[in-house]
Structure 1
Amino acid sequence: MIGHNQVIFEEIMLRQKLSVEVVSANGLSDSLELPSPCVELRFAGQSFTTTVKRKVRCPVWSEKTMFDVLDKERLPSLALEAYVYNVIDGYQFFLGKVRISGASFSDSSDEIVKDYQLKGRMFKRSKGVLLLRVFLKNEAPVSQVIPSPVLGLPVQAPADAVVKYIQPNFEDGVIVGRKCYLFVRVVKARCLPDVDVDQKPDPYVEVNAGNLRSITNSVAEEQNPEWNSTFAFSRRQLDNAQITRIYVVVYDGFTDDSVGLISFDLSDIPERSRNDKPVVPKWHQLIDQSGRTAQGELMLSVWKGVQSDEAFCDSWKSDWLEASVAVRPHIVPKVYSLPRLWCLRVHIIEFKCIALACGSKIVEAYVTVVVGGQRKTTKRMKKPLAHYVWDEELTFIAAEPFEDDLQISIQAHLGPGRDKVVGRIIIPVQTVQRRVGGLSSAKLEHQWHDLQVPPNAAVANGAGDELTVPSCHIHLTTCLDSEYGAHYGSGDHTDEISNPPLVGLLEVGIIGARGLPPIKRKDGRFSSHPYCVVRYGRKWVRTRTIINNRDPLFQEQYSWDVYDTATALIVGVFDNAQVEESSSGAYKGVNIGKIRIHLSDLQPGRIYCHAYPLLVLQPSGVKKMGELCLSVRFTSKSLTNMVRMYGSPNLPKMHHRDPLQILIEDLQFHAVQIVAFRLSQMDPPLCKEAVEYMCDVQSHLWSMRKSKVNFYRIMSALSIFITFWRRFLYVCSWENPAITLLVHGVFLLALMFHQFILPSTLLFTFFSIVWNYRHRPTHPSHVDIKISLTDTVHPDELNEEFDTFPTSRSSSLTMMRYDRLRCVASRIQTVMGDVAACGERITALTTWRDPTATAVFGLFTLAAAVTLCFTPWKVVAAMVGLYTMRHPKLRRKTPSFAWNFCRRLPHKGDSLL
């Protein structure tokens, strides 16, 4: 058994890779202007680009990279391609290429450097030599984790799982790179010729740019058709194919004959900047293939622009050429607006009925309430079937538009598996009264409802006697709470309900990803079709899908209004299984990874450009799935609104006036299920697995690793008090008499000048804040492997963490006890996390984790220190004492400003994996 595991271990470790070293190049250009070359390597769907050497004719790179050889049998049919470009103002101009067959690769690491003559394309000759060193080697990936519970080997973590700073080139106030496109908008045509006397044309338009072609829909039997279609051709693809002219051809769909065409030279097409007005379409006379005037005119507009153009979102992209027509609707970008969630509260008060029977019958009854897929019951009461008083509240989640009904039924339990419906009622959810903005519960109406008695509602007891229920009534209260649904359902504040002040604007630029893993398909091939999903508030964004690319460039920018900085931005990367089915199942996407950025970590006005590692925790350990390059900018709109936001309650007002008697995880679970169902019905759909992954559905489940993490977080937050106590014991031990005497002197001086104790402490705190400004974070917080203990976790603990719930243990007794232990431990884990977060928030007051909050607190400490210097301490003590012992009528029900300020401070919970 050990030998078999050892063989598997060696197969996992010894994975073949292709090592390529770009050494240098010679004689790239004969022109007087010095080039700025770079080299792009391509192998088996993977790519690597070297740095750009500025103004040099014989550049030296000496840069190495590794490519995965996923299929050794196909290696002779593959090829390594090296493209040399001249980079001028962000554009790449082709200089030459080298193609090396996979059959010529050597297995020796002592392979010498070889020079390869650059080759041009069909109509272009190239000069120059590229020096490469290429060989095969067996090496384990950096992020490879050792899955070996049997062998007992420790779990290894990725070595390069750190946030890296990137320097993209931004222009015109945007925070994404410039990606140029050629836009062609086909509006309509007129006076097209007939096919014959009895047949009108079925015209459609084809835009032809070399091997890049796109067509409009065909309009049946119309001489004056309208299309209003826009096409976007990548300028990079046009330059690589050396396209200098595009053709717009009108065809007849009935005969597929050309009606006429219009051609444009790329050098004559105007360039449209971001602030220019939209290009107005113009009429163009059609010509035939010989250049003579043809019958009919075509209205269109052609211009050069970038991806920030307003026509880009609704246009057909040339990047979609590899996707079939049936797949294209599933790869387009989409902005999702989440449904408005409400908390449906059903208060079951009492039940009365008329029971016709001889004698007093004892019946065990309960109430069942069903809303959509949510089903809950009250406690069971055993008494004569006449009058039951429950006074119990059941809580559900409902979403607009309200499509479900509220189904309430009274059931009698007659024995094991024998439940009888005594009466039922169906109430449409849209007729339930609503509470918006935290209205008082005294305004709710208590209602009596007549229940519908089923025809066979004869209830029998164990002795065989029966009783009949001719009529019954239920007393209940129902309402829809907007604040609870908005907060606990979506996890974010909503401006439509509570109407908070606008504090800023969040801009997110999704630049691209690199090093994404290939996904195995059902036919055995490996490919990757990545796309990103951005979640913030009720607005979710899905980028376009890049077909078959492990290093995609999205260059898409989106923005959100911010009403609270104590919120998080979540960006996830997924593989689009609808392009082609993966081995995991039909149309079941693969979760590649996600990152979480807390808005309080962002300094207003600064652009954060970093590459975040995509880390995923698996049963075998943590694994790096690539990197995601993002640019984030938070712009503050009003400092007054910002301070007001820090002082407002973190939870809805209803939470303090009428709190829910239910686990919040239950509401959040049902809210996620509703959101997942609604998003799966949109076009393009967002799969349920992606929504649950973005919402961290199973984050509250028990884990030994997370419990240890929260314990160490508590110890870290209390370390300052532990250190103080240890040093105090050291002073008391007189091990160093000089230090002990010095402390005694300071203590005596503090007794003599006690009025300076508090100002000195506040001044020390202020100077600590100023001192810590140098060590403020340079990038938003991200997953920390050391804090998460994923680098030291035992494989058995990971096996327990990824165990099913309920557990898959064979013994029924062990299963019951194990599940009970996990449920109790999950509550303890949550409490430990809250305690740790409280200590970390206090620590964050002086560490510039939240720049705005630290600045406000620093100014407060400075002002308080100056004020206390001129204020007698007796007056201060009297004010504090009187304020603490004030009358209850002078207290407000919501928390104080200091408590709300502290609750909005960041903690390390967002840095956990």
Structure 2
Amino acid sequence: MARLKLVVEVVSANGLSDRQELLNPCVQLRFAGQSFTTSIKRMVRCPVWSEMATFDVLDKQRLPSLTLEASVYNAIDDCQVLLGKVRLSGASFSESTGAVIKDYQLKGGIFKRSKGVLLLRVFLKNEAPVSQVIPPPVLQQPLQVPVDAVPKEIQPKFEDGMIVWRIPYLFVLVVKARCLPDVDADEKPDPYVEVNAGNLRGVTMFAHEEQNPVWNSTFAFSKRQLDSSQVTRIYAVIYDGVTYNFIGLVSLDLNDVPLHSRNDIPVVPQWHCLVDKSGRTTQGELMLSVWWGSQADEAFSESWKSDWLEASVTARPHIVPKVYNLPRLWCLRVHINEFKCIALASGNKFVEAWVQVVVGCQHKRTKIVKKPLAHYVWDEELTFVAAEPFEDGLQISVKAHLVPGLGEVIGRIVIPLETIQRRVGGLSTELERQWLDLQIPPNASASNGGGDELTVSSCRINITTCLDGGYDVQYGFGEYRNDLRLAAEETSNPPLVGLFEVGILGAKGLPPIRRGNGRLSLHPYCVAKYGQKWVRSRTIINNCHPSFNEQYSWDVYDTATILTIGLFDNGQVEESSSGKYKDANIGKVRIRLSNLQPGRIYSHGYPLLILHPSGVRKMGELYLSLRFTARSLVNTVRMYASLNLPTMHNEDPLSLILKDNLRLSAIQIVASRLSQMDPPLCKEAVEYMFDAQSNFWSMRKSKVNLNRIMSVLSIFITFWSWFSYVRSWQNPAITLLAHAVFLLALVFHQLILPSMLLYIFFITIWNYRHRPSYPSHADIKVSLADTVHPDELDEEFDTFPTSRSIDFVRMRYDRLRSVASRIQSVMGDVASFGERITSLTTWRDPTATAMFGLFTLAAAIMLCFTPWKVLVAIAGIYTMRHPKLRQKTPSFVGNFYWRLPHKADNLL
């Protein structure tokens, strides 16, 4: 699908000044939120640019209402003076590449009588996207921009202090039975209870040869299912587990079942006499407790639920809710000091040796040392991630070889992780260096393939090991920080700040997924990640508008943390029998706890936005209710004053590369542990919740970060633009008022700081009216997801290493070199700027340094006799002087600065 482009060619300009002076003009084009600035032509009267700009026309129907604005500026002393501008309506644009060059009269600017004209060539053209020029398999769909990507506030009515809707359930607690009859004269019964409610049936476990069995089993029947089946009575029937003979039953009318509230006392179980099928009393009694409740009941989490009957038998174990407690993660340090051995038949030949350390799936090794002696010193530290409870040991192997190649193991040892010293408080704990005897494998020798061999008779290694519990190896290194809980139990926990409650209400508008058999279906479930506790909601079978209504809570120790809620499709429901499944991610929502006002319930529908190779897509809406309850104001203040990360992060910070490696190892460990639980959480879901690929290169993310930097600096840019406008004397009244305020501040200088603080205070109060009404969410405009180029998306979703053709890689590499060259130039300019300043006192330019030294001496003497108010007044008035009093050429200070030496001429 072709994309419409607006092409503007800036040709030239003339008559910009009626005084025939030399100018430094440039042209800035603005169209539909996009801008382009030409180069600055220095010291010319009739500039010629011949530069072309291209703008995206996202909506052709809105084109007549859009405006192209071309402004001509004169660059003077790092400020731009407007010479005139041209506005062209989008209705005048034509789709023709043969458009002629037209001259447009400039309007506005400082030269009111100027008859300057700007020559432009403007036309529209249809440009084929990259998917048509070089068609990769992932660029087959057009870019889709979601129309509605803003959270929607809802007004739910919750009951009993809950933040989810109440779902009525009929609870049946089967406690025990007594005095059950024997099967025959020689055998006791193996009783079990079957609870029947229409077509719904729940069964307890068997009690082997027991006349007084105890079950303590709870069954929860959905009122929706009971109403659909028009059930009026419920039956608890006791059968024998061997002969399946009927023993007795208890029948209850649903109209007589009491309603139990969340705050009520539990319903007391009662004994019920068993009756036969004809209604006559028989031997034995059954203790039951029956009540109407909701999912807020304490018995709901451990009860058997009738909703599970909608799934197949093989899929039922995979749809139940689950609370996952993540393993404690430790930072394992292994310092390899030295190695000694007794070698036979080696002579004085050089031997290559290194140490390989393995912890689970993590493999690292030291540098290779080549020496003729059997005494090696490495003094290297290797860092790993270890999960408690420890399943793997620390395997240390020493490998050697007479010539380069694969080394043979000449000694190894396995150290249980439970025996390693633990360090939790800080780095003050001294670590012991220990010598360990290595086990020599049978026939251990290293050879060079020519008959020479190195045989080892005994060897030992000196190492230092410790388990550091003060590094937050799981959450402290990520972009989205979670709640911090240190690994060691001995570490003092931070004060409790509050309680965070999340209600997962439901979702709407979810797209179905095509299965392997061609059928469209969706089995959604949610995963909430916060701290060491992850929760998984129940799976709703084959429903694109699921209703969960599940409530969870977490203790909060730091509000500057993120709760992540992801929505997934349960691939185990249909693929559990084959063992091959993959849970597809539908979208996720991040909630920052510090955005929440304590005590308020936030109920919104959050858009599920996901970035595909074809563009950003809205996958539906996830409805959540949030409530943060503060425990103590004192603890909150202490939390803001406490360390952001544990002490070890500050005493001995890890390198960025090591942080990334440890984070990836931690993610693999957590994914492996969660995949072994019941029900398992697949690896793809864990990596999606952790944003495992967030550090991959992306042109879009680079532009986003650049825009973020410019947004932060916009306040300074705005101030400088205003100050340049004041000192340009375009509005003499404003400029004179600025002079008056400046002189008034000099007279009452003691009020400058209080006035600034009061100004900031009033701005804070003024912005209270515009405070956010809902927590922050994913913004497609900030992420540039609505304007990203398809080729940049394809590059972002490309595999590592790349799977594209050589032509694609060459094109993207050239583009990356172009971007990197501009970044390199900017970094070089910044470095040169600082080097010029530092060279003032280094005598690299003896004449300039001598001049600077004499200037500092004279300035010091002058400042001893001149009041500082006079100096500030002179500097301020000189800076804001009228443009007619300024010289067109750079000042002495500028000329002196730009002649200072820097190190760019020392580069190769």
Task: Please name the residue that 1:427 is paired with.
Answer: 415
Other-structure match for 1:320 = 308
1:117-516 paired onto structure 2 within 5 Å? 150=135, 155-357=143-345, 359-415=347-403, 417-440=405-428, 443-461=430-448, 465-485=452-472, 487-488=475-476, 492-494=483-485, 496=489, 497-516=491-510
Cα deviation, 1:277-307, whole Å, max 9, x if unaligned, reads 2112111111223222122211111111111
Counterpart residue identity of residue 691, structure 1 = V
Question: Alpha carbons of 1:358 and 1:573: their partners in 2 closer, same or farther (altered >3 Å)?
Answer: closer
> How big is each residue's C-alpha offset from its partner over 1:2-47, in whole Å with a ceiling of 9 and x where there is no partner?
99x9xxxxxxxxxxxxxxxxxxxxxxxxxxxxxxxxxxxxxxxxxx
1:292-333 CA-partner distances (Å, limit 9, x unpaired): 212221111111111111111111112112123333222211
Which residue of the partner structure matches residue 548 of structure 1? 542
**1:386 shift after superposition:** 2.8
Alpha-carbon distance, 1:812 to partner: 13
Query: Does 1:772 find its partner at 2:767?
Result: yes
Task: Tell me the residue number matched to 1:529.
Answer: 523
| Alignment counterpart, residue 513 of structure 2, candidates 515, 519, 522 | 519
Describe the SS at the equivalent of 2:752: helix
Counterpart AA for 2:290: V
Assess if the C-alpha contact under 8 Å between 1:146 and 1:153 holds in 2. Answer: no
Q: Separation in 2 of the partners of 1:462 and 1:328?
A: 60
Q: Secondary structure at the match of 1:731?
A: helix
Q: 1:170 deviation in Å? A: 1.0
Q: Write out aligned runs for 1:411-810 (5 A).
A: 411-415=399-403, 417-440=405-428, 443-461=430-448, 465-485=452-472, 487-488=475-476, 492-494=483-485, 496=489, 497-581=491-575, 586-661=580-655, 662-809=657-804
Q: Match of 2:86?
A: none
Shift of 1:696: 0.9
**Aligned equivalents of 2:140, 2:276: Cα separation in 1:** 76
For 2:806 and 2:286, the matched residues in 1 are separated by: 77
CA–CA separation in structure 1 for the residues paired with 2:789 and 2:688: 25
Query: 1:119-156, CA deviations, whole angstroms, 9 ceiling, x for partnerless residues?
Result: xxxxxxxxxxxxxxxxxxxxxxxxxx998774998622
Distance 2:287 2:257 in 1: 16
Quickly say closer, same or farther: Cα 1:212–1:152, change in 2 above 3 A. closer
Displacement of 1:166 after TM fit?
1.0
Map Cα deviations across residues 536-573 of structure 1 (whole Å, 9 max, x no partner).
00011111112222212111111111111111001111
CA contact (8 A) 2:144 2:614 kept: no
* TM-score computed with the length of structure 1 as normaliser: 0.71
Q: In 2, Cα distance between the equivalents of 1:743 and 1:526?
A: 69
> How far apart in 1 are the matches of 2:576 and 2:281?
52
Unaligned runs of 5+ in 1: 6-144, 833-872, 875-913
RMSD over aligned Cα atoms:
3.2
Cα distance change of structure 1 residues 232 and 603 upon mapping to structure 2, 3 Å threshold: same
Amino acid at match of 1:231: F
Alignment partners' CA distance in 2, 1:423 and 1:819: 49
In structure 1, distance between residues paired with 2:545 and 2:639: 40
Contact persistence 2:410–2:440 (CA under 8 A) = yes
CA displacement at 1:393 relative to structure 2: 0.9
Greater radius of gyration (CA): 2
How much has 1:742 moved relative to structure 2? 1.3
Range with bigger deviation, 532-541 or 349-358? 349-358
Give how far 1:382 is off.
2.5
In the alignment, the residues of structure 2 paired with residue 583 and residue 200 of structure 1 have an alpha-carbon distance, to the nearest angstrom, of 38
Residues 492 and 537, structure 1, Cα contact 8 Å, conserved in 2: yes
1:485 Cα deviation after fit: 4.5
Aligned partners of 1:310, 1:666: CA distance in 2, in Å? 42
SS state at 1:769 partner: helix
In 1, distance between residues paired with 2:520 and 2:146?
A: 23
SS at match of 2:568: strand
Deviations 1:611-666 (A, max 9, x none): 11111111111111111111111111111111111111212211222223452111
Shift of 1:194: 3.4
What amino acid sits opposite 1:217 in the alignment?
M
CA contact (8 A) 1:520 1:583 kept: no
SS at match of 1:393: strand
Identity %: 71
Question: Which structure 2 segments of 5+ residues have no match?
Answer: 4-128, 828-867, 870-908
The offset of 1:254, in angstroms, is 4.0
Q: Quick check: 1:163–1:611 contact (8 Å CA) kept in 2?
A: yes
Query: Residue 460 of structure 2 aligns to which amino acid in structure 1?
Result: H
CA distance in 1, matches of 2:403, 2:350: 13
Is 745-754 or 210-219 further displaced after alignment? 210-219
Give secondary structure in 1 for the equivalent of 2:572: coil
Give 2:376's aligned amino acid. Y
Paired residues of 1:488 and 1:667 also in contact (CA < 8 A): no
Equivalent pairs, count? 688
User: How big is the shift at 1:381?
Assistant: 2.5
CA distance in 2, matches of 1:218, 1:579: 28
Give the counterpart letter for 2:706 in structure 1. F
Q: Which amino acid aligns with 2:665?
A: H
Report if aligned partners of 2:477, 2:660 keep a CA contact under 8 Å in 1. Answer: no
* Alpha-carbon distance in structure 2 between the residues aligned to 1:413 and 1:602: 62
Question: How far apart, in 1, do the equivalents of 2:193 and 2:438 lie?
Answer: 64
Distance 2:555 2:799 in 1: 39
CA shift in 2, pair 1:794/1:153, >3 Å: farther
State the shift of 1:408 in Å: 1.2
**Superposition deviation, residue 413 in structure 1:** 4.6
**One-letter code of the match for 2:484?**
H
Deviations 1:770-820 (A, max 9, x none): 000011111111110001111001111111001111112456996999699
State whether residues 472 and 646 of structure 2, in contact with CA within 8 Å, keep that contact through their aligned partners in structure 1.
no
| 8 A Cα contact 1:522 1:581, kept in partner | no
Instruction: Name the residue aligned to 2:53.
Output: none
User: Is contact 1:519–1:582 with CA below 8 Å preserved after alignment?
Assistant: no
